[in-house]
Structure 1
């Protein structure tokens, strides 16, 4: 059953990937053509002799004096080397030498897809070596930036190469396992999207193919192997090295990123001791940066240029004096500045989950996190998140608790946490928690969600569950309620509920259950 489901999901998501990639390439064509006069296409020898396809954009009038700062841009997963040409041209117009390259395993570059493994990190250093040898780049002013896959490689490279003085990691990851395996639950749509894109546009390594197969089949004997594989590719593993090297780090992501959720970036940001900046906006994976790839005005890329201007060119543009945490709510315009991540949630309000509830597993109640990419894009463009009729959710398959009606707007900011006591009838299982904004007619708009999976529990024996829902910024209007819904099936995730399983949520007197909602001080 697992193999059939995987094939179907991968095929379907592969079609979506193909459409996205084709659309991006077609859309970039005009920008690429416009940049052709100042672009030089080259081949660079990467780690182990692997040839990487790259292009170099040089400022007008550049010479061999070595006075131009260098920015290196590794490509995103499944996208060709023309991805950044519009931005590369704009950066070159500001005096930067810009080198963009196709990461190994994709398109014209050689090798296999290693998922930001050691060869990818070594490739980044080889690319820098080549740029210093073949362009008038300043070895003391080197930066890296990237979207998605390129973002992760940038952070890893900065932890391993002291020459990198500034990084802009856009829609990337700090913890790969916490991204696609949070709550010990496989984010299957996200993984299938990556798998499908790699199959269409690249050459997966044997190790990657094995990891994907083990991920889909949910073989617990392989779990530690997957975790170890992910940790090796997580910037969070090399945090001490990154802090020691001192590279200035800008992190930007979208609230609804279904591949790399906001939580893992926020936690990583708090532990950085280097000059740092954190930005969250509405959208899904890489959608906040997309218009900038077409050369259009874009906040993410504007801030990226300001970051490099300050830390590579010494421009006093004030970005170092601004509040370092910048958030944009999904429901209201304008940015909010904070001194750090913990200040985002000035207060917390608890919603009691006092009433016990028993639900049956294996059936989707109708409460869902949406569809990868599509749902969060609709939320970004039209403020239309996934919805559910809370009164009509079948209580056989969904547990529901609601707050009182709020007399004023509740500005949810940060990470909602769930604490409850769970008694399962089977030793393993999965629950998915959802927080909804419920209007007067009972229609709930999804605020946030997260999955949670357990194994090896004693049937009939209660245990405590503490779950962080994905961080967000959402304004609940006056007259609305918040509702916490829990069920066992969501198409975004692989569920581990044996047939006939039941879950009982309770609230013992000595350990009451609640959901803690972070609120901005008004």
Structure 2
């Protein structure tokens, strides 16, 4: 077993354990609350596949009144009781709620299709069943879900015009842009998904092949991987989604290590119908998790308001609020904007002068953290990954720092690295990190992003423009910003040949810099 496979197996064990613990707790707590109020049913999905589902209807319903319908596909690796606490709340608000276990997981039949055509066809079959077997109103249908269920909901809304409103919670818009951004495999994220599905589901031959090619960095099948991912990306069908006119709410976390925020912000800008974008501190699905236990939760409260307005016509004001709502990682306060491009009012460039050469294949100590754990610590304790910037070994890390700032710098949006790189080998990987550096030299991670290249000419410079993952972070007065670049990070698979070096330069006619997006002060 190669080093990458060993690493991903280790990551998968922890990831699967966390998933199963959460799944078991979800499987117990909401069921106790919902006992006697829920009906468990079998629904025939695409191709005759049996989908395990549950139905919650408004209390006191006598079958003579039609109610808005909400369909909730489960998250990756979670059982069908995942949404019972929220389903009861929604039923109390007058909705018929049908939640079902997606194909290939737990007791549902079939094999995992990774939000492929069979999954969207299943969702339409669930809608068909609900209209035939519950007091649902065919004119008022919505879909929502967390993670996997979010992506399936968006994809279904693009293919089934009956869906009038969607709440995508910790979902994705670009599957390849999520786990293969910068042409770099996000190995810990993939191991989480792979490990959970091996324990709780049944992978199809195609799904297993995709994971194996991903881990093996099989460039011969790279285009097939990209095509496979495009078919499963809501962004591919944005024109259909706009034509169908569904009202779309997107809620994600700044530190999502499975579906980073950039691709959802880009997708949001392309939507032309009613839309809302929310970003909060945390990692994948951590902002929504308390609501799955029935705990009051901003994400689920806004989801209820979204459906109340767009499915029930409630005049609750959500359509008059600023459609882009951000919660800063530093202050915890909400900020409203008219659109994504207004988030950053100005940009400040940090010059990356001089010429710096680093050696590859060694982790300098600058890292993006650990999937889930690091961003959760940032969410609950404002403790992102930390590096001692003065102590980073310059043999393996390139470091540039700004001057001390006389006032707080409110970073909002997407920082961009522009530089010139000269490799000594035809392939390589680098990871850029932006740090908030305090007086003692300790740097708190603000953002990062990987980049991989293949097939270049050794010794020939090339220009690099790299978007770091979007964020909202306040750098205190008296601190600096530091850009660090190295070549190894446990979050990603690296492609640096033995003995390779990377040289970063700043030509006079094309100077290097990192552009910092700042909120208007």
User: Which TM-score tier does this pair reach, normalised by the shorter chain?
Assistant: over 0.9
Aligned equivalents of 1:7, 1:112: Cα separation in 2: 26
TM-score, normalised with respect to structure 2: 0.99
> Is the deviation greater in 8-17 or in 372-381?
8-17
Report the Cα offset of residue 11 of structure 1. Answer: 4.2
Partner of 2:147: 148
Report the Cα offset of residue 20 of structure 1. Answer: 3.0
Equivalences for residues 127-276 of structure 1 within 5 A: 127-276=126-275
Aligned equivalents of 1:140, 1:442: Cα separation in 2: 59
Q: Does 1:122 align with 2:121?
A: yes
TM-score, normalised with respect to structure 1: 0.99
Q: Does 1:23 align with 2:22?
A: yes
Whether the 8 Å CA contact 2:45–2:126 is kept in 1: the answer is: yes
Q: Does 1:338 align with 2:337?
A: yes
Partner of 2:403: 404
Q: Does 1:109 align with 2:115?
A: no
Partner of 2:481: 482
Q: Which runs of 4+ in 1 moved over 3 A?
A: none
Aligned equivalents of 1:345, 1:407: Cα separation in 2: 20
Q: Does 1:376 align with 2:375?
A: yes
Aligned equivalents of 2:74, 2:204: Cα separation in 1: 18
Whether the 8 Å CA contact 1:388–1:445 is kept in 2: the answer is: yes
Partner of 1:353: 352
Report the Cα offset of residue 7 of structure 1. Answer: 4.1
Q: Does 1:71 align with 2:94?
A: no
CA distances 1:381-423 after superposition (whole Å, capped 9, x unpaired): 1000000000000000000000000000000000000000000
CA distances 1:322-355 after superposition (whole Å, capped 9, x unpaired): 0000000001021000000000000000000012
Whether the 8 Å CA contact 1:10–1:193 is kept in 2: the answer is: no
* Secondary structure in 2 matching 1:87: helix
Aligned equivalents of 1:464, 1:454: Cα separation in 2: 12
Aligned equivalents of 1:244, 1:443: Cα separation in 2: 50
Aligned equivalents of 2:237, 2:93: Cα separation in 1: 32
Aligned equivalents of 1:501, 1:63: Cα separation in 2: 72
CA distances 1:274-318 after superposition (whole Å, capped 9, x unpaired): 100000000000000000000001000000000000000000000
Partner of 1:417: 416
Superposed CA RMSD in Å reads: 0.9
Whether the 8 Å CA contact 1:11–1:196 is kept in 2: the answer is: no
Report the Cα offset of residue 479 of structure 1. Answer: 0.1
* Secondary structure in 2 matching 1:82: coil
Q: Does 1:501 align with 2:500?
A: yes
Whether the 8 Å CA contact 1:42–1:54 is kept in 2: the answer is: yes
CA distances 1:455-512 after superposition (whole Å, capped 9, x unpaired): 1110000000000000000000000000000000000000000000000000000000
Task: Provide structure 1 residue ranges, at least 5 long, that are not aligned to the other structure.
Answer: none
Partner of 1:329: 328
Partner of 1:293: 292
Task: Provide structure 2 residue ranges, at least 5 long, that are not aligned to the other structure.
Answer: none
Whether the 8 Å CA contact 1:10–1:195 is kept in 2: the answer is: no
CA distances 1:95-125 after superposition (whole Å, capped 9, x unpaired): 0000000000000100000100000000000
Aligned equivalents of 1:203, 1:157: Cα separation in 2: 22
Report the Cα offset of residue 8 of structure 1. Answer: 4.2
Aligned equivalents of 2:165, 2:65: Cα separation in 1: 18
> Is the deviation greater in 10-19 or in 307-316?
10-19
Report the Cα offset of residue 162 of structure 1. Answer: 0.4
* Secondary structure in 2 matching 1:226: helix
CA distances 1:25-49 after superposition (whole Å, capped 9, x unpaired): 2255232111121100000000000
Aligned equivalents of 1:65, 1:510: Cα separation in 2: 74
Aligned equivalents of 1:253, 1:92: Cα separation in 2: 25
